[in-house]
């Protein structure tokens, strides 16, 4: 597995990471702990050294990650996040300094580690000045409890404000061939400031894997049941787009998911996607995306396709979109 450095001063990580949210949150029933441990350890064997968790995914999520990486803790980078009241995304935001410190202590314990490699603010809290947030994480870094500071779904003004207090190693936001809003202003800013980008949902919440069509049924509790992009008409239209991507993938001897990940890696050398899965064979498929070499001609074909066949449906409901800082 090739490696990349997140931004100018961030950690060195595998070119493809593993998003661990789906092990316990957002996509139906939680994964069995033994299965989750086996998946994370198999990912490490495959060369993945970057694992993403969060307080909001439930205490079990951090505990799973912490237990799984114990045999090779010093060889991996663990990211986790703070920013919600009592760790509950439905309860609203809370990035007060006291809350950040409490989450850090709890996460260190659950992750069975003495330092959090990358500590993100999960969502910008408009009630807490970004200078206070960045200053608190700066203090945690000085105390040796955190190595790097990150933001998630932050907008231009808050990225600049945070970075002025404590250099931001990485921004985690949704970015894929299906979701490209970052390209106009955010990505140029990250390049200017030397901040890495960690795309979550790099496969469009599974759509770009080529395994979802109009007949696909999602489990109870799966967030995609409520997302506009996954409603019947949009799903049918978007499946046609993925089919076209699949034709390009077949010509390259790759899968649609690998093309989607290769496309992201080709955008900037400091982009590190974190596809999530609960299945070992999907993890191995995703890891193979790091080996896909897209030529200028390939990228041109994909650009033409994306321009000709726009994605149908918003990525979030209006209520979910309201929490995004832009």
Residues with a known catalytic role: 57
The neighbouring-strand residues paired with 52 are: 19, 79
Beta strands in 66-164 (DSSP E): 77-82, 116-121, 146-152
| CB 298, CB 249: distance < 8 Å | no
CB count within 10 Å of CB 58 equals: 18
| CB 124, CB 158: distance < 8 Å | yes
* Contacts of range 67-72, beta carbons closer than 8 Å, 24 or more positions apart: 67/33, 67/37, 67/112, 68/36, 68/37, 68/40, 68/41, 69/40, 69/44, 70/112, 71/41, 72/44
Question: In the numeric block, which tokens belong to residue 232?
Answer: 């019947």
Residue given tokens 């799966």 in the structure block = 222
Angle at 103 between CA 105 and CA 43, to 5 degrees: 85
- Give the list of residues 6+ apart from residue 74 with CB closer than 8 angstroms, or none: none
Residue given tokens 């770009």 in the structure block = 208
Q: How far is CA 9 from the centre of its chain?
A: 19
Nearest-angstrom CA–CA distance, 112 and 118: 15
Nearest-angstrom CA–CA distance, 149 and 193: 14
């Amino acid at each position: 597995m090739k490696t990349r450095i997140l931004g100018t001063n961030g950690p060195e990580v595998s070119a493809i990471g593993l998003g661990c949210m789906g092990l316990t949150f957002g996509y139906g029933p939680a994964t069995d702990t033994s299965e989750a441990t086996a998946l994370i350890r198999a990912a490490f064997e495959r060369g993945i050294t970057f694992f993403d968790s969060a307080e909001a995914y439930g205490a079990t999520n951090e505990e799973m990650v912490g237990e799984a990486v114990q045999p090779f803790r010093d060889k991996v980078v663990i990211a986790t996040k703070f920013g919600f009241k009592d760790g509950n995304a439905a309860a609203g935001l809370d990035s007060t300094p006291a809350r950040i410190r409490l989450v850090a202590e709890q996460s260190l314990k659950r992750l069975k580690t003495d330092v959090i490699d990358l500590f993100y603010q999960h969502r910008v809290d408009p009630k807490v000045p970004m200078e206070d947030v960045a200053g608190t994480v700066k203090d945690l870094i000085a105390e040796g409890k955190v190595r790097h500071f990150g933001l998630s779904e932050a907008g231009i003004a808050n990225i600049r404000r945070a970075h002025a207090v404590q250099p931001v190693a990485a921004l985690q936001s949704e970015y894929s061939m299906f979701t490209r809003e970052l390209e106009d202003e955010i990505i140029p800013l990250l390049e200017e400031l030397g901040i890495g980008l960690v795309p979550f949902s790099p496969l469009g919440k599974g759509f770009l894997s080529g395994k979802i069509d109009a007949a696909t049924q999602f489990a109870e509790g799966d967030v995609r049941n409520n997302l506009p992009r996954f409603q019947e008409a949009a799903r049918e239209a978007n499946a046609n787009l993925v089919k076209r991507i699949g034709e390009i993938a077949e010509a390259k001897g790759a899968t649609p998911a690998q093309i989607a990940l290769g496309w992201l890696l080709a955008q900037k050398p400091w982009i590190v996607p974190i596809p999530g899965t609960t299945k070992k064979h999907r993890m191995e498929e995703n890891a193979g995306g790091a080996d896909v070499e897209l030529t200028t001609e390939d990228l041109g074909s994909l650009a033409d396709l994306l321009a000709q066949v726009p994605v149908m449906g918003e990525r979030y409901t209006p209520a979910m979109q309201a929490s995004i800082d832009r």
